[in-house]
Amino acid sequence: MKPGLPTAGLLAALSLPPQCGAAPLPDEPIKPVPLSLQQPPAAVALGRRLFNDARLSANNRVSCASCHDLARGGADARPRSAGLNGKPTLLNTPTVLNAALNFRQFWDGRADTLEAQIDLVVRNPLEMGSDWGAVMAKLQADGAYRRDFASAYRDGLTAANVRNAIASYERTLITPNSRFDQYLRGNHNAITEAEKNGYAKFKQYGCVACHQGVNVGGNMFQKFGVMGDYFARRGGAGAADMGRYQVTGKADDLHVFKVPGLRNVARTAPYFHDASAATLEEAVDVMFKFQLGRTGSKEDKAAIVKFLHTLNGTPAGQP
């Protein structure tokens, strides 16, 4: 069986035919989510089970779904998720929805693939606090897993195949049916005039400099506080605020984070790596001040928020 398509390979051919009889919008900085990212069904079925299996954690209490709740936009509503033994994680949990469309994983981009992200979460002492030897001992004791992995993978139940199965499932968690995607594909009535105005403001103010492409972000790094000292206003920075610097050790990467994708953003409050913005309106205010260095009118910001709501979609193939 071929492993799931790597993230880099997913970004190569995402253009889709428009709806029947409709003309897609040309040359837009945001592109529609593909209708599907084809993955081996057997691997996806195994990955779905593993995603919800708390045996991946050291104490059999934490699963991927514990922090990535599909009913809550693929994240959770807490500023920081509860990991092993209920201890909070260091950063706000990013959504798993459309994560396959990101060029890196985690806020600091330390994982190049979904498989690498899964590996690091399992071994993180604050998250699942386990190791692959312990995980595999538990899974090998499950006859159903042994049987189904032997059927789906040439070499059966291995740690690499467990990571690939979960990643294959996560690659199906894309949201291709947002009203905005319908609009991009040619259905000009899919969003309202007020929402179209919000999209125009989103472009005019320069939000698309960082939030563009298929995932409306997720494809570059950016300093938090380009146009002002965000951390000074917040009262100081800590270890959790170092961002990309913790990966590279380069001074230029201090407070640099992966730009989050904005799909389903209206469902994933609170916002930012530190969960400092409780509402989408607060998040837009912060972006205007510290990333754009501009003073937008109350009406323009409200219009942008209306546009952001059009990015909500349901995961493909999910009940």
Looking at the annotation, which residues are catalytic?
127
Sequence-separated (6 or more) residues with CB below 8 Å from residue 13:
none
Residue of 1, 149, 127 whose CA lies nearest to 66: 127
Q: Distance (Å, rounded) from C-alpha 8 to C-alpha 113?
A: 8
Are the CB atoms for 195 and 92 separated by under 8 Å?
no
Residue of 285, 280, 288, 274 whose CA lies nearest to 308: 280
Q: Distance (Å, rounded) from C-alpha 156 to C-alpha 148?
A: 8
How many angstroms separate the most distant Cα atoms in the chain?
Answer: 61
Q: Distance (Å, rounded) from C-alpha 85 to C-alpha 88?
A: 9
What is the torsional sign of CA 272, 170, 168, 214? negative
